[in-house]
Amino acid sequence: MIRIPQVKVNISEIYQKNIDTCKDRTSWERLYQKEEALLLRKKICKLLRCKPGEIQDFCIVKRSIDARKKKEIFYTYSVDVALGTEKEKRICSKIKNKVCQIKKKLVYQVPMQGQALLSNPPVIVGFGPAGMFCALMLAKAGYCPLVLEQGKKVEDRVKDVENFWKTGKLEPWSNVQFGEGGAGTFSDGKLNCSVKDTTGRIRKVLELFVEHGAPAEILYQQKPHIGTDALCKIVKNIRTHIEELGGIVTFESKVTDLKYNAAGALQAVQVNGQDWISTQVAVFAIGHSARDTFACMQAHGLQMEQKPFAVGVRVEHPQKKINQHQYGDMAKVLPPADYKVTYHTQKDRSVFSFCMCPGGFVVNASSEAGGMVVNGMSNHDRGEENANSAMVVNVLPEDFGSEDVLAGVAFQRKWEALAYQEGKGKIPVQLWKDFKEKKQSTRYGDLQPVHRGENEFGNLWNCLPTFVSEALLEGIAALDGKIPGFADPDVILSGVETRTSSPVRILRDETLQSNKAGIYPCGEGAGYAGGITSAAVDGIKIFEAIYSKYQSKKEKVEYE
């Protein structure tokens, strides 16, 4: 197969030719879908100097939008072309353009299976992306894993979250952070991952998402996303599949304690402060908000260390303005645009956008009574009026003010409690023009908030560390130079965004076990991932660690 990167299609040209018929995104996508394969085949023939009939097959490996020049926007492709081995060799040797290369398909491989015996099924603590993909791979390999999730199954969780946003009544274990699918369920469902896929694990994660109902285009989009509405169905499909393969997924089952044998290896986990479940293997994929479980692990002497993260606010802008800035004339036919901005302050702090949600909602993502946390989410169509992203500032362990390994948790809790007070239990909001004056807003301007959860005017300087507020003041103003309107007076800020990643790392050795044998720290909470895809990839890494040590019970396996 020949891999051809950088195949560029000038979509501005096509749009201009069809401007009378392309009135919106749907009509553009309908038109382009019809033309895409033909256009690519022509490009491939030109690049490889071959005839259309010689192409046995081709597939899109990656597609991205290159909108650096607004008048000349391109779709940039990476394609794999099959022409037959001999012909591929001849063509690649003939054409001097070294970008075209014979490429072997990157296929995910499981390691050699171990022979040690497991007397009980492996236990997965937490059913977020990390726990979910670890459990799915173990189930496919015949290990019949037992999943213990403290939250509720997605159908009930959705009701609890909707009710919370309407009434403010928080369910401590069933909310935006906790429950089936983990923190990733109520999200924008962005699946981009900055890590280069050298093992095929990232591709495997995307393929498994598609196998359980995600749209196929996530396999080749540069910035794939699913959206909350679709994610809710997908996590349920993954649960059902694990159960069909002999696994057990239990909800409202919180691991509250651990027991070791004389050798100091794991012997059992306790659920809900009552029953003990015997196991030699427990994967702790507990997420960045599992503060009580962090404390339980600290008490059990698991080695952990403080970890930096970032704190800030959510900012909202009119999505139309972002689209116009990013795509110019094609703004009305291309998907809602995103942005990624960074700024370095004079006081040596980084201010950067995080988890940007085009056409999404700012959500009340709190998980503790008396604490206020915001985040962002969107549905698959990203059809809301506003663009939002977290604008955050890096926070270092030396900012925590204590050596205690969980001082980062205390740091988050402090500002979340102040935000709760500032908003009187609702999301505290402030317009940019008033943030600059450190004064509370009294009414909205041209922009209305698009929120899930009630909000209340407040002064965000009262619930953010001063170094964060000062950095935001300098950073947001400066970024107006990069995206005109970024610092418009009516831009809406909501607080506080504190759960950008885990405040701790649970140490693990080369076998991916903690200092307590049998305990596998996994995913974002353990400090080894940031985002849905990288958490799922870490879940697969832990699957491989267990697979290469222990044999599974079942002959028939399904992970091919």
Ligand X SMILES: Cc1cc2nc3c(=O)[nH]c(=O)nc-3n(C[C@H](O)[C@H](O)[C@H](O)COP(=O)(O)OP(=O)(O)OC[C@H]3O[C@@H](n4cnc5c(N)ncnc54)[C@H](O)[C@@H]3O)c2cc1C
Which of 61, 170, 183, 362 is the binder for ligand X (CB under 6 A)? Answer: 183
Tell me which residues in 280-299 interact with ligand X (CB under 6 A).
Answer: 285-287, 290, 293
Nearer to ligand X, 28 or 165 (CB): 165
Place of tokens 């403290």: 150
Tell me which residues in 11-50 interact with ligand X (CB under 6 A).
Answer: none
225-254 mask for ligand X (x: CB under 6 A)?
Answer: -----------------------------x
The least CB distance from residue 382 to ligand X, in Å, is 11
Closest by Cα among 484, 489, 287, 495 to 390: 495
Which of 179, 312, 318, 397 is the binder for ligand X (CB under 6 A)? Answer: 179
Q: From 3-11, 20-28, 113-121, 127-135, give the range in contact with ligand X by CB under 6 A.
A: 127-135
Place of tokens 């040797």: 93
Q: From 45-53, 383-391, 430-438, 526-534, give the range in contact with ligand X by CB under 6 A.
A: 526-534
Place of tokens 């895809």: 533
Which of 531, 544, 545, 546 is the binder for ligand X (CB under 6 A)? Answer: 531
The answer to whether 268 touches 259, Cβ cutoff 8 Å, is: yes
Phi and psi, residue 472, nearest 5°:
-65, -40
Q: From 18-26, 79-87, 478-486, 523-531, give the range in contact with ligand X by CB under 6 A.
A: 523-531
What are the helix (H) ranges across 300-443?
319-327, 397-400, 407-422, 432-436
The least CB distance from residue 373 to ligand X, in Å, is 8
Q: From 336-344, 398-406, 435-443, 521-529, give the range in contact with ligand X by CB under 6 A.
A: 521-529
Q: Are strands 304-306 and 342-344 parallel, antiparallel or unpaired?
A: unpaired
Q: Are strands 374-377 and 123-125 parallel, antiparallel or unpaired?
A: unpaired
Structure tokens, 252:
């409202």
Which of 351, 377, 409, 427 is the binder for ligand X (CB under 6 A)? Answer: 377
The secondary element (H helix, E strand) that includes residue 265 is none
Q: How many residues bind ligand X (CB under 6 A)?
A: 45
Which of 121, 122, 131, 458 is the binder for ligand X (CB under 6 A)? Answer: 131
Nearer to ligand X, 103 or 203 (CB): 203
The least CB distance from residue 194 to ligand X, in Å, is 11
The least CB distance from residue 199 to ligand X, in Å, is 19
Using the rule CB under 6 A, is 363 a contact of ligand X? Answer: yes
Complete edge-to-edge strand list for the sheet that includes strand 266-271: 255-260, 266-271, 276-278
Phi and psi, residue 242, nearest 5°:
-60, -40
Max distance between CA atoms of the chain, in angstroms, equals: 77
Q: From 36-44, 65-73, 183-191, 443-451, give the range in contact with ligand X by CB under 6 A.
A: 183-191
The least CB distance from residue 547 to ligand X, in Å, is 19
Using the rule CB under 6 A, is 255 a contact of ligand X? Answer: yes
List for the chain the helix, strand, coil content (%; round to 5).
Answer: 35, 20, 45
Q: Distance between CA 151 and CA 64 in Å, rounded?
A: 37
Using the rule CB under 6 A, is 529 a contact of ligand X? Answer: yes
How many other CB atoms are there within 10 angstroms of residue 178's CB atom?
A: 26
184-203 mask for ligand X (x: CB under 6 A)?
Answer: x-xxxxx-------------
The secondary element (H helix, E strand) that includes residue 363 is strand 361-364
What are the helix (H) ranges across 251-318?
291-299
Using the rule CB under 6 A, is 521 a contact of ligand X? Answer: no
Q: Distance between CA 170 and CA 203 in Å, rounded?
A: 37
Using the rule CB under 6 A, is 371 a contact of ligand X? Answer: no
Nearer to ligand X, 174 or 280 (CB): 174
Q: Is residue 334 classed exposed, middle or buried when 0-12, 13-18 and 19+ CB atoms within 10 A define those classes?
A: buried
Q: Distance between CA 20 and CA 355 in Å, rounded?
A: 36
Beta bridge partners of 10: 74
Place of tokens 């213990």: 148
Nearer to ligand X, 183 or 519 (CB): 183
410-449 mask for ligand X (x: CB under 6 A)?
Answer: ----------------------------------------
Neighbouring C-alpha atoms within 13 Å toward the C-beta of 416: 22
Residue-level length of the chain:
560
Phi and psi, residue 478, nearest 5°:
-65, -35
Which of 176, 392, 429, 431 is the binder for ligand X (CB under 6 A)? Answer: 176
The least CB distance from residue 164 to ligand X, in Å, is 13
Using the rule CB under 6 A, is 475 a contact of ligand X? Answer: no
Which of 148, 387, 391, 545 is the binder for ligand X (CB under 6 A)? Answer: 148
- Could you give the 3-state DSSP secondary structure of residue 429? strand
Nearer to ligand X, 139 or 333 (CB): 139
Using the rule CB under 6 A, is 129 a contact of ligand X? Answer: yes
Using the rule CB under 6 A, is 359 a contact of ligand X? Answer: no
Q: Distance between CA 179 and CA 206 in Å, rounded?
A: 22
Using the rule CB under 6 A, is 392 a contact of ligand X? Answer: no
The answer to whether 185 touches 532, Cβ cutoff 8 Å, is: no
Using the rule CB under 6 A, is 524 a contact of ligand X? Answer: yes
The residues of the shown chain that bind ligand X, judged by CB under 6 A, are: 125-131, 148-151, 176-179, 182-184, 186-190, 254-255, 285-287, 290, 293, 355, 363, 365, 375-377, 523-525, 529-533, 535
